[in-house]
Structure 1
Amino acid sequence: MVDVPQIFLAPDYSVSRLIKGGWQLAGGHGVVPQAAAHHHMAAFVDAGITTFDCADIYTGVESLIGEFLRTRPRGAVQVHTKCVPDLGRLATLTAHDIATTVDRSRTRLGVDALDLVQFHWWDLARGDFVAAARTLGDLQAAGALRHIGLTNFAVAPLERILDAGVPVVSHQVQYSLLDRRPASAMADLCVKRGIGLLCYGALAGGFMHERWLGAAEPAEPLENRSLVKYKLIIDECGGWARFQSLLSLLSGIAAEHGVRLGAIAIRWVLDQPGVAAVIVGARNTAHLPDTLAALTVELSAYQRDRLSDFLLESPAPRGDVYELERDREGRHGRIMRYDLGR
């Protein structure tokens, strides 16, 4: 039995260092019946992964988790949802609109207070994202939510929110061996301000797996939305041939530890400064043992150096966190869905 450590995001709030992601349950990845989804959720919790990630815009996922929570003692599972106002409403968004979104999430999850609400804003040039974040602070004071997090803000807007007095405890970002944009400036700021990085993308939507080692470059259409998203990241990192070299390196290190290569990819992210937890998207328990194996690995200095040397010689996405994705006309922005609020 692998011991899944907890980490404190606030003096009164801890989460598991591995978090079960929920995007894969929202569509575009195949249908998962409710009974099967609940069975898999129970397996994660029983294994020690007690923290779930979801969002108000992940269609049906809050309600699915809410039904599961009714089978568990209150507090046994931590649920992180999001507040993601529609792009088309940003210019006219009101405090009442945000309160309505939060109340809807409370109803769907069946809780009086949300554990953590992670705030995202599609276009920083539209509306007032700082005022919206302050509204979450007001709702926290009123007892509607316990803690506030952010999702995919660059350094400068994050600082504006912090300077406005919003008590942010976490920041969800894409961070992996392929995408290292949160390193340096973002990680430094979050360490300085006591904000835990909650990182998705460590497994690149499933590309970080032996299935792809030695495989031909996949042709479009790809089989699900995760692969579409992360194939674009692979393209930013030197393309398929360079990615094959990374998989080969990871496979060799994994063999030295007796684990799968995905465990090494997760371990690398967990070891980065400022990282509180890694979010691993999962529709089922098929890869749960491999995910847990990341917690048994301690990379040697030599192994870390081999990875660092490889990364220094590799292209990578440029700019600050989520900068590429904010260009709605670009390759990354065009695949986003911006008005999913219900």
Structure 2
Amino acid sequence: MTEYPRPDRFSLAPGYEISRVLRGNWQLAGGHGAVDRAEAVEDMIAFADAGITTFDCADIYTGVEELIGQFRAQYLNRRGAEALAEVRVHTKCVPDLSKLGTLTRDQLQDTIDRSRRRLGVERLDLVQFHWWDYAAGDWLQAAQWLEEFRIEGRLQFVSGTNFDTDHVSAMLAAGVPLRTMQVQYSLLDRRPEKRMAELAGEAGINFLCYGTVAGGFLSDRWLGQPDPGAEIENRSLIKYKLIIEDIGGWDLFQALLVTLRRIADAHGTDIATVASAALLTRPLVAGVIVGARNRAHLASNLAISALKLRAIELAEIDAVLAQGRDLEGDVYTLERDRTGRHGAIMKYNLNKEEA
């Protein structure tokens, strides 16, 4: 097996570094199949030992915060406090759609405190705030409550996920110092570049990117394959297939895969690695979040940071993408329309009430 160096690191703030490849843990959540909890903890230890020391999770990923809490305790026992100090855990605060209109400060604090208990920490590292419907409840007040919790010491950084540019601007104006914004960002979905990148650059906000391989579409598996049409059952693939259709269709997508395969050949790697590594070259991108169910994905995750693409290769990718169309709207606009093609497949009430 190829030996890869430890991933590059990115400084989000003095004394706060993350690995530029973050391990996503949504695949460990309930609904994705049975999880061997002891084995899952061993997998996390292997990732941290290899240098992927930043873990992404959410309060709505059933069972995942607890698993990461177990990993942290085991890592402390085996590697010591100095090693554990390099581990960062980024969770999310995602109130259910049905509860937005009645959400109180106490309820939101209970959510934050529940994440602290699950993760076994006094202070959460970074909390990424999400709000399903801007018209339901008071999202700005909730963001301000999170900032109050930060001042109280319950969390170190307030961040966001899937807010559009105007709402990010409003939070900044209201005194909520967002540190990062987690966004769906890939070679196929470049909506963060349309408006938000300018604001983020001015405000010192960095992007943490998910969906960099478009649910698996940006991989060798789909090179040369016919358009699957509607014959897709996986909800994630349906989501990204809609993106492919909106930017120009299957022929354009195949042209992109051919280009990525040619670049991958030059580096002895695969299409998925090139697709994620390309995102690390984009301005303001601090890291890419890559799903990994177990250690079998560790080498491929390490390969992302190790791959250094040349300017001419990035230009070849951009030349293909220039033939397509821009996606409609700002960050996450399509997904917020619950009656539209993109929003209709989303799930909105995912929290569990257990402590």
TM-score of Structure 1 vs Structure 2, range by shorter chain: over 0.9
Q: Look up the match of 1:19.
A: 22
Task: Report the CA distance between 1:311 and its aligned residue.
Answer: 0.8
SS in 1 for 2:333: coil
Correspondences of 1:54-203 after superposition (within 5 Å)? 54-73=57-76, 74-203=84-213
Task: Report the CA distance between 1:156 and its aligned residue.
Answer: 0.5
- Residues 12, 296 of structure 1: alpha-carbon distance in 2 compared, 3 angstrom cutoff: closer
Q: Determine the C-alpha separation between the residues in 1 that align with 2:173 and 2:62.
A: 33
SS in 2 for 1:121: coil
For residue 320 of structure 2, the aligned residue among 285, 289, 310 is 310
Q: Look up the match of 2:277.
A: 267
Q: CA RMSD in A?
A: 1.6
Q: Determine the C-alpha separation between the residues in 2 that align with 1:184 and 1:228.
A: 24
Q: Which runs of 5+ in 2 are unaligned?
A: 77-83
Q: Determine the C-alpha separation between the residues in 2 that align with 1:128 and 1:178.
A: 32
Q: Look up the match of 1:30.
A: 33
Contact 2:7 2:306 in 1 (8 A): no
Q: Which amino acid in structure 1 is aligned with residue 5 of structure 2?
A: V
TM-score (norm 1): 0.95
Task: Report the CA distance between 1:220 and its aligned residue.
Answer: 5.4
More displaced, 324-333 or 216-225? 216-225
Task: Report the CA distance between 1:316 and its aligned residue.
Answer: 4.0
Q: Look up the match of 1:215.
A: 225
Q: Determine the C-alpha separation between the residues in 1 that align with 2:151 and 2:143.
A: 13
Q: Determine the C-alpha separation between the residues in 1 that align with 2:295 and 2:31.
A: 18
Q: Determine the C-alpha separation between the residues in 2 that align with 1:75 and 1:106.
A: 16
SS in 2 for 1:265: helix
Residue by residue over 1:85-108, the C-alpha shift from the partner in whole angstroms, topping out at 9 and shown as x without a partner, is: 111111121111110100111111
Q: Which amino acid in structure 1 is aligned with residue 12 of structure 2?
A: L
SS in 1 for 2:207: strand
Q: Look up the match of 2:42.
A: 39
The alignment-based identity, stated in percent, is 53
SS in 2 for 1:286: helix
For residue 247 of structure 1, the aligned residue among 234, 250, 257 is 257
Q: Which amino acid in structure 2 is aligned with residue 71 of structure 1?
A: Q
Q: Determine the C-alpha separation between the residues in 1 that align with 2:69 and 2:276.
A: 28
Contact 1:55 1:62 in 2 (8 A): yes
Q: Which runs of 5+ in 1 are unaligned?
A: none
Q: Which amino acid in structure 2 is aligned with residue 149 of structure 1?
A: S
